[in-house]
Amino acid sequence: MKPEILEFRTLIEGATSIAVVAHERPDGDAIGSLIALTLSLQNAGKQVASILADGVPNRFRFLPGTDDVQRTFPTDCNLLIVLDCSDVERTGFEVEDLPRSVDINVDHHPTNTHFGVVNIVDPHASATAEILFGLAEPLGLEIDSRVATNLLTGLVTDTIGFRTTNVTPQVLNVVARLIELGAPLSEIYERALNRRSIIVARYWGYGLLRLEQEDGLVWTSLTLEDRQRVGYSGKDDADLINLLSTIDGAEVTVIFVEQSEGAVKVSWRSRAGLNIAPLAEAFGGGGHHQAAGAMIAGDLEEVTKRVISATRGILKSVTESRR
Ligand code: 5GP
Ligand code: MN
């Protein structure tokens, strides 16, 4: 057994009150990984609190175990586990508001800063949920149907329905095993990826109207006013970026979502062979080679100008090096 997994096991055995936290503006992998680990530790008799700074968005409330998610930490916590976060700030909590320093960091982002005492970071994993699946046996944790459902949600959403280049035969073997353990694949796919409200469709409409294209670059923005007009309660792009990235010729897709705090949430997607994670990092964010994001201070117009100019630069240098 790898020493870090042994350490993980020892830390769990010694803990009486565990807090597990995943990233702000949580996606399916953050929530699925969080709930899966929480439930399997609870099944092993541990006292565990699931924490998300932003709570659980409506579309993931179908997942078993999401009702117990809290927005604040228990005061008596003696083990802190952070999931699917490339840096500690990604939890959405100020470092001084965490109940203790991070004991265990489990993640799959290549930009992970190894901020835990124990760091289990595998950038080749398609999702944090895939890493947790592999940890269950060595940690002595059982995967029941509720745990399997949450893990499969992480895999389905982070691979955008098995469309990303990191989907290996091994990933599909994990999927097969999770289905055998009781995870309903078609229901998860439908609810977590396919279904959307009329509000979201109208919100997308505003973004689609403003679509811009220049060579291999496709981008658009969503404003605070758009959200207000359609009544969208989230602060994100409602996954419009995944639709934009299907456009022919879009080597890099960027979306700008205006925030009320004088900031803009930027998301990038790129085709295989074009790594945009360093660009997101340069803007204070992070992510994967093909999917990255950052929260950037400034107004919509100014941030758009800066980011499009930098992205154009990356795209140009990559296309020139291919010649
Ligand atoms: P999205 O753009 O869909 O929010 O996220 C795409 C990827 O980039 C995800 O893997 C996510 O974890 C990462 N990411 C998005 N925003 C941030 C950010 O502000 N900071 C960091 N470190 N990673 C981010
Ligand atoms: Mn993830």
129-164: pLDDT as tens digits = 999 999 999 999 999 999 999 999 999 999 999 998
Same domain assignment for residues 35 and 170: yes
Cα dist. 49→3, 55, 186, 311 in Å?
26, 13, 29, 40
pLDDT at 284 over 90: yes
**Structure confidence at residue 307 (pLDDT):** 98
Tokens of residue 206, six digits: 């505003």
* C-alpha of residue 320 to centroid of ligand 2, in Å: 31
Q: Would you call 121 helix, strand, or coil by DSSP?
A: strand
Tell me the ligand closest to 128's alpha carbon.
2
- Region 259-264: what's the mean pLDDT? 95
Instruction: Please indicate whether residue 267, judged by its CB atom, sits closer than 6 Å to ligand 1.
Output: yes
Q: Report yes or no: 65 and 37 within 8 Å, Cβ to Cβ.
A: no
Closest CA to 259 of 303, 291, 292: 303
pLDDT in tens, 88-121: 999 999 999 999 999 999 999 999 999 999 999 9
From 136, 163, 193, the end of a domain falls on: 193
Regarding the beta carbon of 294 and ligand 1, being less than 6 Å apart is answered yes
* Structure tokens given for 99: 């109940």
Q: What's the domain count of the chain?
A: 2
Decide if 102 contacts 115 (C-beta within 8 A): yes
The whole-chain average pLDDT of the chain stands at: 96
Determine the 3-state secondary structure of 77 from DSSP.
coil
CATH number for 108: 3.90.1640.10
Q: With a cut of 90, say whether residue 273 has pLDDT above it.
A: no
Interior angle at CA 254, CA 251 and CA 215, nearest 5: 40
Which residue among 171, 193, 215 closes a domain?
193
Judge if the beta carbon of residue 257 lies within 6 A of ligand 1.
Answer: no
Task: Write the CATH number for 248.
Answer: 3.10.310.30
pLDDT attached to residue 43: 97
Per-residue model confidence (pLDDT) at position 78: 96
Same-domain check for residues 231 and 189: no
What domain range includes position 139? 3-193
Contacts of 43 (CB under 8 A, 6+ apart): 141, 142, 144, 147
Residue-level pLDDT at 214: 96
- Please choose from 27, 34, 93 the residue to mutate so as to test ligand 1's pocket, defined by most ligand atoms within 8 A of CB: 27
Query: Which two tokens mark 12?
Result: 């769990």
Across 6-15, average pLDDT: 98
Atom 19 of ligand 1, nearest CA residue: 294
| pLDDT above 80: residue 323 | no
Nearest ligand to the CA atom of 254 = 1
- In sequence order, what are the beta bridge partners of 107? 121
CA dist 91 and 82 (Å) reads 8
Residue 214 vs residues 62, 206, 240, 312: alpha-carbon distances, Å: 40, 19, 19, 9
- Distance (Å, whole) CA 101 – CA 205: 43
**Closest listed ligand to the CA of 33:** 2
Interatomic CA distance for residues 170 and 81, integer angstroms: 26
Last residue within a domain, chosen from 193, 216, 249: 193
Residues 46 and 151 in one domain: yes
152 C-beta closer than 6 A to ligand 1? no
Ligand 1 atom with least separation from CA of 25: 4
Does ligand 1 have an atom closer than 6 angstroms to the CB of 86?
Answer: yes
Coil vs helix vs strand at 20: strand
Give the per-residue pLDDT at 322.
78
pLDDT at 134: 98
Quote the ligand 1 centre to 198 CA distance (angstroms): 25
288 lines ligand 1 (CB under 6 A): yes
- 203 with 181, same domain? no
Clarify whether residues 231 and 301 are in a common domain. yes
Taking the C-alpha atoms of residue 217 and residue 129, their distance in angstroms, rounded to an integer, is 31
What is the distance in A from the centroid of ligand 1 to the CA of 11?
29
Give tens-digit pLDDT for 232-260: 998 999 999 999 999 999 999 999 999 99
Are 62 and 191 within 8 A, CB to CB?
Answer: yes
Same domain for 238 and 303? yes
pLDDT, residue 1, reads 87
Q: Which ligand is nearest to the CA of 154?
A: 2
How confident is the model at residue 157, as a pLDDT? 97
**Percentage of the chain with pLDDT > 90?**
94
72 in the same domain as 7: yes
pLDDT tens, 36-94? 999 999 999 999 999 999 999 988 999 999 999 999 999 999 999 999 999 999 999 99
Distance of CA 170 to the CA centre of its chain: 21
Q: Is 90 in the pocket of ligand 1 (CB under 6 A)?
A: yes
